[in-house]
A and B are shown apart, each in its own frame.
Chain A
Amino acid sequence: MAASVDPLVVGRVIGDVLDMYIPTANMSVYFGPKHITNGCEIKPSAAVNPPKVNISGNSDELYTLVMTDPDAPSPSEPNMREWVHWIVVDIPGGTNPSKGKEILPYMEPRPPVGIHRYIFVLFRQNSPMGPMVQLPPSRANFSTRMFAGHLDLGLPVATVYFNAQKEPASRRR
Chain B
Amino acid sequence: MAIPMATATPTDSASRVWSMSSLRSALPSATTCRMPSSTSRRPVTIRLPVSSPSPLLLPSFSGLSPVNPLISTGLPDWKSFENGFKIIDGGGRVYAMRHGRRVPKLNRPPDQRKALLRGLTTQLLKHGRIKTTRARASAMRKFVDKMITLAKDGSLHKRRQALGYIYEKQIVHALFAEVPDRYGERNGGYTRIIRTLPRRGDNAPMAYIELV
Residues of A within 8 A of B (CB): 2, 10-12, 39-41, 71, 74-77, 113-115, 163
Contacts and interface: CB of A to CB of B under 8 A. Distances in A.
Nearest to A116: B129
Contacts of B130: 114-115
Given A77-B128, A113-B127, 12 more contacts: A41-B196, A71-B129, A74-B127, A74-B128, A75-B127, A75-B128, A75-B210, A76-B125, A76-B129, A113-B126, A114-B129, A115-B128
B194 A115 contact: no
Given A39-B196, A75-B210, A115 B131 contact: yes
Query: Interface majority SS on A: helix, strand, loop or mixed?
Result: loop
B154 to A, nearest CB: 18
Contacts of A114: 127-130
B200 to A, nearest CB: 11
Contact of A77 (B131, B178, B192): B178
A70 to B, nearest CB: 12
B193 to A, nearest CB: 9
Contact of B211 (A2, A75, A113): A75
B208 interface: yes
A76 B127 contact: yes
22 contacts: A2-B194, A39-B196, A41-B131, A41-B196, A71-B129, A74-B127, A74-B128, A75-B129, A76-B125, A76-B127, A76-B128, A76-B129, A113-B126, A113-B127, A113-B128, A114-B127, A114-B128, A115-B127, A115-B128, A115-B130, A115-B210, A163-B208
Contacts of A75: 127-129, 210-211
Nearest to A78: B128
A40 B208 CA distance: 11
Interface size on B, as a range, is 10 to 19
Contacts of B210: 75, 115
Contacts of B192: 12
Interface in B116-169: 125-131
Contact of B129 (A2, A10, A40, A115): A115
B211 A76 contact: yes
B177 to A, nearest CB: 10
Contacts of A2: 194
A54 B192 CA distance: 32
The 10 tightest CB contacts between A and B, nearest first, are A76-B128, A75-B128, A114-B127, A75-B129, A115-B129, A114-B128, A114-B129, A74-B128, A10-B194, A76-B211
Contacts of A71: 128-129
Nearest to A115: B129
A77 B179 CA distance: 11
Contacts of A12: 192
Contacts of A40: 197
A89 to B, nearest CB: 31
Of the candidates A12, A114, A163, the one having the most CB atoms from chain B within 10 angstroms of its own CB is A114
A149 to B, nearest CB: 26
A40 B131 CA distance: 12
A106 B178 CA distance: 33
